């Protein structure tokens, strides 16, 4: 089984192991060398696209991982998620209903206040990005109107917005797709992860198609 579009959110390993927000306190993480050994190259079609989440602290690691899987990074800014506070939508609705937003400046001021404030040694982080990398010639765009920036509220810890998956479908059309490190099932997508029913078994050195029981090396 080979896939034209591979979408993934690697469980990056971070140095922070103490605070409540530390990734390792919410899910199992993987070091860069362990991630590189996953045979994602065996899942990819001859001409394929990789869409991969990464954070600002892992730019170099993200490029190295994509290259180790057989892809060449084309843009580090395929999508940028502007993270809004978890209950921002309710507060926006309340402000609109109460007439608190009178003009554009009011809107911008509230948008600024509702933008998530994460950590950061320089500016405070409030975005996360998806890089786009290709194997072979990649894929042709099915739509030229798909925009980069996504504004959505935070969900569960590290959960990514469904809108990015939706935009990838519009961007590349009806192709064979898989999501790696998936948490749930989505119509039209195969999946692999430790929180869902898998379409394939992906381990170091081999891939097993769950439905067919065949191994690919």
pLDDT one-digit tens code per residue, 9-66: 999 987 655 444 444 444 578 999 999 999 999 999 999 999 999 998 899 999 999 9
The structure's pTM equals 0.84
Contact by Cβ (8 Å): 42, 79: no
What local confidence, expressed as pLDDT, does residue 60 receive? 95
Distance CA(198)–CA(192), nearest Å, equals 5
Q: Are strands 177-180 and 190-192 parallel, antiparallel or unpaired?
A: parallel
Edge-to-edge strand list for the sheet holding 206-209: 200-203, 206-209, 215-216
What local confidence, expressed as pLDDT, does residue 109 receive? 93
What local confidence, expressed as pLDDT, does residue 155 receive? 79
User: For 19, phi and psi rounded to 5 degrees?
Assistant: -70, 160
Average pLDDT of the residues of the chain: 86
Q: How many beta carbons lie within 10 A of that of residue 120, not counting itself? A: 11
What DSSP line would sit under 27-83, residue for residue? Answer: S--B-HHHHHTS-GGGTEEEEEEEEEEE-GGGHHHHHHHHHHTT-EEEEEEEEEEEE
CA 15 to the chain's CA centroid: 20
Nearest to 150 by CA among 130, 170, 177: 130
What local confidence, expressed as pLDDT, does residue 209 receive? 57
What local confidence, expressed as pLDDT, does residue 96 receive? 93
What local confidence, expressed as pLDDT, does residue 145 receive? 97
What local confidence, expressed as pLDDT, does residue 217 receive? 34
Contact by Cβ (8 Å): 139, 133: no
Interior/surface letters 77-99, b for 16+ CB within 10 angstroms, e for the rest: ebbbbebbbeebeeebeeeeeee
Nearest to 27 by CA among 154, 176, 159: 159
pLDDT beneath 70, residues of the chain: 15-27, 157, 204-217
């Amino acid at each position: 089984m080979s896939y034209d579009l591979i979408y993934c959110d690697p469980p990056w390993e971070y140095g922070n192991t103490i605070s409540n927000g530390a990734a390792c306190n919410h899910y199992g993480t993987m070091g860069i060398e362990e991630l590189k050994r996953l045979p994602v190259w065996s899942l990819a079609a001859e001409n394929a696209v990789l869409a991969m989440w990464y954070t600002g602290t892992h730019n170099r690691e993200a490029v190295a991982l994509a290259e180790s899987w057989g892809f060449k990074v084309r843009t580090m800014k395929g999508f940028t998620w502007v993270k809004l506070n978890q209950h921002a939508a309710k507060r926006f609705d309340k402000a609109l209903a109460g007439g608190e937003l009178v003009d554009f400046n009011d809107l911008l001021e509230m948008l600024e206040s509702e933008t998530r404030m994460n950590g950061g040694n320089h500016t405070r982080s409030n975005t996360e990005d998806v890089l786009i990398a290709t194997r072979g010639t990649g894929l042709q765009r099915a739509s030229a109107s798909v925009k980069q920036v996504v504004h959505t509220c935070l969900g569960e810890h590290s959960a990514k917005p469904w809108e990015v998956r939706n935009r990838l479908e519009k961007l590349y059309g009806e192709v064979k797709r898989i999501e790696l490190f998936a948490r749930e099932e989505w119509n039209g997508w195969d999946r692999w992860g430790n929180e869902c029913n898998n379409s394939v078994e992906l381990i170091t050195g081999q891939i097993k198609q769950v439905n067919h029981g065949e191994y690919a090396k």
